[in-house]
Structure 1
Amino acid sequence: MVMGSLKGRDLLSMADLTAEELQELLRLAAQLKSGALSLRCEKILGLLFYKASTRTRVSFTSAMYRLGGQVLDLNPNVTQVSRGEPLEDTARVLDRYIDILAIRTFDQHDLEKFAEYTEIPIINALSDREHPCQVLADLQTIQESFNTLEGITLTYAGDGSNNMAHSLLLGCALAGMNVRIASPVEYQPLESIVQQAKAIAGDRSEVAITTDAIAAVQGSQVVYTDVWASMGQESSAQSRIPIFQPYQVNEQLMAHADKTAIVLHCLPAHRGEEITNGVIEGSQSRVWDQAENRMHAQQALIASLLGVK
């Protein structure tokens, strides 16, 4: 039975979930992946993507088709959005046509505006502030590897100011995991997100921010990284390399992690920059399971927001 508490709601941030709702989503994703549960719906998912995408676009599309629904690609370049139609006007029209909308955009405020002017569920498929759907898949992958989330320590090494670091802070705190962000001092997470994660974690788990990657990975069961320059930051990509080099996930860094540690990367990867080829292709890598789980986690999320039974 799909939980009813998420029906009709939006997912703009990992913090929109409770710890119990997160666990229920992960249980549902696992059931859907294993084939223990099959859900069907005849609904329409809209994809409004202002940013290029491979995994997000294909995983959302596959997830909806597997549920028996339909997908509309609302490419901004071939709709009135690209000609300056106000977001609130677009939102109110789409609200009459489709059943659920996933948006991949730059500004978190755009998602909030869509949510304000629609009754249908709005999903954050990525913004500059957060990437909650990726973290759902990440947590599913970690749970598959260790049969638990509670007490597991995840270290993220790299750009702590990006959307992945923010959503990992919140998601790990919700899951009862210890989370450490290792990044240069000028690229650390938003303090508001850090404080929010600490409030969620309470006394259950650790939330730590540091500039020392080696110290951060000590005893970690999960080592996570992402590109050093996200979409829209290409002009600074080369200048960032020497700044982030001490945070590269390589064989030397992994030697300091727990012997059972796994490696995650949300992709696409720049091999030889934030991660070495040997690590991403090595026995500790769970990157391809992680990518597959985008589809299963999003299938669970869509079904839950639509109230599919």
Structure 2
Amino acid sequence: MMGSSGTESGVRHFLSIGDLPVEEAIELFRWARLFKQARPHLPQGLGYTLAHTTWVLLFSKPSTRTRLSFEIAIRELGGESLFLPFTDLQLARGESMADTARVMGRLAHGAIIRTYAQAEIEEFSRWASIPTVNALSDEEHPCQVLSDIFSFEEKRGSIQGKRVAFLGDGSCNVARSWAIAASRFGFDLIIGSPHCFWFPSPSERVFWTESPWEAAQEADLLYTDVWVSMGKEGEKEAREELLRPYQLRSELVKKAKPDVLVFHCLPAYKGKEITAELFEARAQEILDQAENRLHVQKALLSWLVKKLPSSPGV
């Protein structure tokens, strides 16, 4: 996998949360806060870091928050976006990703890709020679977790040294991105999940338990995600049976720290991975988390084109 420097020409990509050096993440978060503060002052408070550029959103999976937050971010940064479902392209008829990327790289200024295979995003970035963003694959959801860390720090200060508990499908893309982030940002991640969903810990800061109670103990952040990810619909009944004990509910919250935050990356299936009661009680935290995708991705896109503004512009 390529790192943040991307290709030999110096093009930046964001394919994994491991692509962003932590010192640059700190600067990116600072600018995300400034973009958030500036937004009520639009258009005067807008930094046009993507002016005169066109970005393609190449999606093979359905999307609500990812599509909205990226399209609005690009527009508010002065750029244009083209939403391109895989099914509308020659990819659906067998054209290779390499050929698609080589053409798009000559026409567009950046690409945001949401698909099943991580390898497709990596291949596109190799051939297109334009900034490429992983907007979700089966292996990672780096934009989500980057924004989640920002959302935590916005409310509780640095995540370094904190305890994050993920409950549910420990093999999902969000959990995997959290695992990569743990060592880079210096927090402990405890994944409460059935053993069949475990994967090798990428660092000594990632721990596993089959007990949801142990995972929630003294947590600073309780986090859950859907039990049946896109492409796993055929496993729905089996997954729901296995994961039912890991439902995020008020009894588990009581095991965490008194000021624990509750996050869900959405969409939420209330009564399954989280109770409706707890979701509504923590809706403000969860919706703040969803909104922050816009602000963090504005900073991320500006970082990719090496144009973090020199002043907030308000």
Asked if TM exceeds 0.5, the reply is yes
Match of 1:217 in 2: 216
Distance 1:166 1:80 in 2: 31
Match of 2:61 in 1: 51
Distance 1:17 1:87 in 2: 25
Distance 1:114 1:270 in 2: 33
Matching residue's letter, 1:39? G
Matching residue's letter, 2:22? A
The percentage of aligned residue pairs carrying the same residue is: 39
Matching residue's letter, 2:241? P
CA contact (8 A) 1:128 1:163 kept: yes
Q: CA deviation at 1:215?
A: 0.8
Distance 1:131 1:62 in 2: 19
Match of 1:179 among 186, 189, 201: 189
Matching residue's letter, 1:10? H
CA contact (8 A) 1:14 1:167 kept: yes
Scaled by the length of structure 1, the TM-score of the pair is: 0.91
Distance 1:173 1:25 in 2: 18
CA contact (8 A) 2:218 2:255 kept: yes
Distance 1:285 1:299 in 2: 22
Q: Residue by residue, what CA displacement relative to the aligned partner does 1:163-182 show, whole Å, maximum 9, x if unpaired? A: 00000111232222221111
Q: CA deviation at 1:29?
A: 0.9
Are positions 1:292 and 2:282 aligned together? no
Distance 1:208 1:217 in 2: 12
Are positions 1:16 and 2:19 aligned together? yes
Cα distance change of structure 1 residues 285 and 279 upon mapping to structure 2, 3 Å threshold: farther
Distance 1:281 1:176 in 2: 30
1:78-93 paired onto structure 2 within 5 Å: 78-93=88-103
Are positions 1:99 and 2:109 aligned together? yes
Match of 1:30 in 2: 33
Are positions 1:147 and 2:157 aligned together? yes
Give the secondary structure class of the aligned counterpart of 1:281.
helix
| Aligned structure 1 segments of 4 or more residues deviating by more than 2 angstroms | 4-8
Larger CA deviation: 171-180 vs 262-271: 171-180
Are positions 1:66 and 2:76 aligned together? yes
CA contact (8 A) 2:46 2:76 kept: no
Q: CA deviation at 1:68?
A: 0.8
Structure 2 alignment gaps of length 5 or more: 40-44, 310-314
Structure 1 alignment gaps of length 5 or more: 199-205
Give the secondary structure class of the aligned counterpart of 1:264.
strand
Matching residue's letter, 1:179? L
Distance 1:222 1:132 in 2: 18
Matching residue's letter, 1:98? A
CA contact (8 A) 1:261 1:284 kept: no
Q: Residue by residue, what CA displacement relative to the aligned partner does 1:127-159 show, whole Å, maximum 9, x if unpaired? A: 000000001110111011102211221100000
Cα distance change of structure 1 residues 173 and 38 upon mapping to structure 2, 3 Å threshold: farther
Are positions 1:131 and 2:141 aligned together? yes
Q: CA deviation at 1:261?
A: 0.4
RMSD: 1.7
Distance 1:80 1:216 in 2: 46
CA contact (8 A) 1:247 1:274 kept: yes
Give the secondary structure class of the aligned counterpart of 1:35.
helix
Cα distance change of structure 1 residues 172 and 285 upon mapping to structure 2, 3 Å threshold: farther
Aligned residues: 295
CA contact (8 A) 2:35 2:295 kept: yes
Scaled by the length of structure 2, the TM-score of the pair is: 0.90
Q: CA deviation at 1:254?
A: 0.9
